[in-house]
Structure 1
Amino acid sequence: MNPSWLLIGAMGYLIGTFPTAWLLYRLTKGGDIRNEGSGNVGARNVYEVTGKKWVGVVTFLIDALKGALATYLGYLFGGDWLPNGGWAAVGCIVGHNYNIFLKGKGGRGLATATGAALVVNPLMMFTWDIMYLIGYNVIMKNVHVGSMTATIGTAVMMYSLPDLVLAKTTLVPFYEVSDIRLFGVAMCIPLFMRHLEPIRALIRESDE
């Protein structure tokens, strides 16, 4: 591993730790969102526990901006969009999901990943959306099932799509198509990890 990747990943992580949902909940309700609803520090939970659509929308947009900003700064300081910009994006998602300043709590990374994907390869976002609809409507009408289906499906698609498709849909310069594949799969890993617990909870409920 290139030593500079550690610094770029750490930079991305710090950007990801900006606690949008936590701050907006404290400003609008005065409490700690980690103790409310699902405890998730993200757009969906802050919308559900405040009942304010604008709070959810603003949270989503700022969290998406974190992903886009981290990707750009990774490029700016690392010298290339891929792998350095992508590495910063992954670090940002990890920082959002596992925030050291919130005792390891965080969101599920979907908005942050959306921001990074829109900068590098929007096909990843569209693939995720389609897979989500399939998972939600075909497997089970549950947002976590839809999200997990979308995350796994997107990783598989980014790994297996033809080189030409990935090359044509990538908006930034790159050295090898394998860098695009790595970017797509690596971004899905922290999303997958944060959706494991709700899926486990769903399985436990079905067994009772």
Structure 2
Amino acid sequence: MLQGYGAAKIIWRISTKAKRCIIRISAKEQAVLVTLPKNFPHTQALAFLHKQAHWITTRLEKLVQTPRFTIGSKISIQDKDYLICHAPDRKGGAWLENECLFVSGDPSFLARRVENFLKQYATKVLAEEIHQMAQTVGLHPTRLDIRDTSSRWGSCSSSGRIMLSWRLVMAPFFVRHYLIAHELSHLQHMNHSLQFWKMVDRLTPHRQQAESWLRHFGAILQAVR
């Protein structure tokens, strides 16, 4: 069910697994997502939504300011800023050169080519970073998948398969380090128990800094395209 919230939309969802009312911002859908437990009173949900009005408005305003994959925009790739430059007569798709991310061909395909380049670049970078940390602690994920996700930055299955968002290649190193430590810790603890968090803190010193960054800028990073 959709309902307007200013210029944005609200998507109401009922979940049998939810134990409380949860509000989050979906950068991909440009919407406020409200997840409710089954039979949760709608009046209480609306009251909770209004109570979070400032938080919602602040994050929606950040989404409006989100940079795009357009000529002249700047994006961060592995902790370095690059200017997106169009080279229509050159070949190669997209590549890094000096302080520019050059993109060839028709400008109508520019955003897609930037995204494809970043996905390939992320596959290489994140694989190297997760391998480095895994080797130092003797953990061995069975597989690494790089995907485009709208609600989570990573996951780890019971079979040892780790997934990370390609967008992390645009996040600071301390964020990548924390999220890799988080998913590697799930190889031993498939929960968020005290033992799990102790292991995360052993693997990375960046937990608090990274979680703070994700709270403030995570939605913006998910919306970049």
TM-score normalised according to structure 1 size: 0.29
Q: Which one has the largest radius of gyration? A: 2
TM-score by length of 2: 0.27
If asked which structure has higher relative contact order (CA below 8 Å, sep 6+), I would say 1
Q: Which has the higher helix share?
A: 1
